[in-house]
Amino acid sequence: MPLIETQRLGKEHSGKQVLKDINLRVQNGEIFVLIGPNGAGKTTLLRILDLLDEPSSGSVLFDKTPVNYSASAKLALRRRIGMVFQQTALFNTSVFNNVAYPLKVRGENGNTAEKKVKETLKMVQLEGFESKNALKLSGGEAQRVALAQALVTEPELLLLDEPTANLDPKAVSIIEEALSRVNRERQTTIVMTTHNMFQAQTLAQKAALLLDGRIEKTGTIQEIFEVPSRHLASFARLENVFSGVSSVVEEGTSLVDIGGGLRLEAAFTKTGEVTIYVSPKDVILSKNPIVSSARNTFKGRIVEVADLGPTVRLKVNAGRVFVVQITKRSFKEMRLNVDSEAFLTFKASSVQAV
């Protein structure tokens, strides 16, 4: 059953049509990602879903009921929604008071409120930060406080606008883990915008691609990302996107020269300049060459390691830099680190033209 739905939604601002005929349906308990370039209308759509702005046309339904925009009705509904903006706006007081504030305005005080604040701070890994001034925190810590503010009331719907933009890998990992947990344990419905395609693929079940105020495509994460478009590659943080020159060889395949001494075998027949994409999840990383039917195997050296909790994200320079993700267990078993030698292996069918 959809928790939130829009029907032919439109929004005009300063004479410009910012959103046009938006039909969106987010199921209860789903993580839904809005992707698109800057100016596509993603933030405007979130503000309408949060009832901060009203649509110029069309309607919003919450639990199948059209939204009533009277002040009292909006207040009651917004108490069921949490919102995290890209730019944090915290109070000049302690972390505890910042997180407790949404409970205070709801009339919750005392031991129950204190317990909720402490549990939420633990979820975003800020135990021990209760007495610190929120305005003296790092960017990643401040964003985790903002997330805790939104989570402490246990909202049915959580809206997030680029929640991990410009944060360090550790903060990104903590925020992603917290979002995954509340969705799994509380069945919290989440709608978020992001340019980070790796994040979208890791967290979400469904996605919508917004271009120039319109939804160009909706579908499962696999449907959106398995065959990336040029539109997607032009603005999204897709990993392993390379430009090169393709030449057709026998057996219906092509060799794509992407520079750095690398020629990738691809399961398509194209001649001339191409842009290709290799999904990080399709790349097998090993300490030694592996015997397989995969047509692409390259030796490289690890140049960056990012700890993402249960997984590790690696950048490997094999003439060009590839991004790979492996489990932390595999990382430890192979005794890898920055400057370790490693081999990359992937199939010709994993090389996609965009």
Report the C-alpha gap between 52 and 65 in whole angstroms: 18
Residue 291: its pLDDT value, please?
82
For residues 206 and 288, membership in a common domain is answered with no
Residues 154 and 21 in one domain: yes
Whether 235 shows a pLDDT value over 70: the answer reads no
Q: Can you give the pLDDT at residue 263?
A: 94
* Whole-angstrom distance, CA of residue 58 vs CA of residue 298: 53
pLDDT tens for residues 172-230?
A: 889 999 999 999 999 999 999 988 777 888 889 999 999 999 998 899 987 887 666 66
Q: Kindly state whether residues 188 and 248 are assigned to the same domain.
A: no
Residue 184: CATH number of its domain: 3.40.50.300
- Looking at the predicted structure, is the pLDDT value of residue 1 above 70? yes
207 and 254 in one domain? Answer: no
Same domain, 39 and 148: yes
Answer yes or no: do 214 and 349 share one domain: no
Domain of 321, CATH number, reads: 2.40.50.100
Question: Tens of pLDDT along 24-44?
Answer: 999 999 999 999 888 899 999
Q: Among the three residues 234, 252, 282, which one is the final residue of a domain in this structure?
A: 234
Mean pLDDT estimate for the chain? 91
- Do 215 and 19 form a contact (C-beta atoms < 8 A)? no
Helix (H) or strand (E) holding 236: none
**Which of the listed residues 177, 204, 234 is the one where a domain comes to its end?**
234
pLDDT band, residue 86 (cuts 50/70/90): confident
Please check whether residues 173 and 312 belong to one and the same domain: no
Q: What are phi and psi of 125, to 5 degrees?
A: 55, 50
Question: 272 — phi, psi (to 5°)?
Answer: 105, -165
- 199 and 281 co-located in one domain: no
Q: Please say if the pLDDT value at position 236 is more than 90.
A: no
Q: How far apart are alpha carbons 99 and 80 in whole angstroms?
A: 16
Residue range 102-114, pLDDT digits in tens: 999 999 989 999 9
Least trusted range by pLDDT, from 17-31, 229-243, 333-347: 229-243
Q: Which pTM does this prediction carry?
A: 0.76
Same domain, 287 and 333: yes
* Residue 308: per-residue pLDDT: 72
Residues 320 and 183 in one domain: no
Structural domains in the chain (count): 2
Residues 6+ apart with CB under 8 A from 247: 254, 255, 257, 271
- pLDDT computed for residue 311 by the predictor: 81
For residue 255 the two structure tokens come to 């060799």
103 and 225 fall within a common domain: yes
State how far Cα 128 lies from the chain centre: 28
As a whole-number percent, the residues of the chain with pLDDT over 70 amount to 96
Domain holding 283, by residue range, is 239-353
The predicted pLDDT at position 292 comes to 82
- What pLDDT band is residue 45 in, cutting at 50, 70 and 90? very high
Of 234, 251, 270, the residue that ends a domain is 234
222 and 176 inside one domain: yes
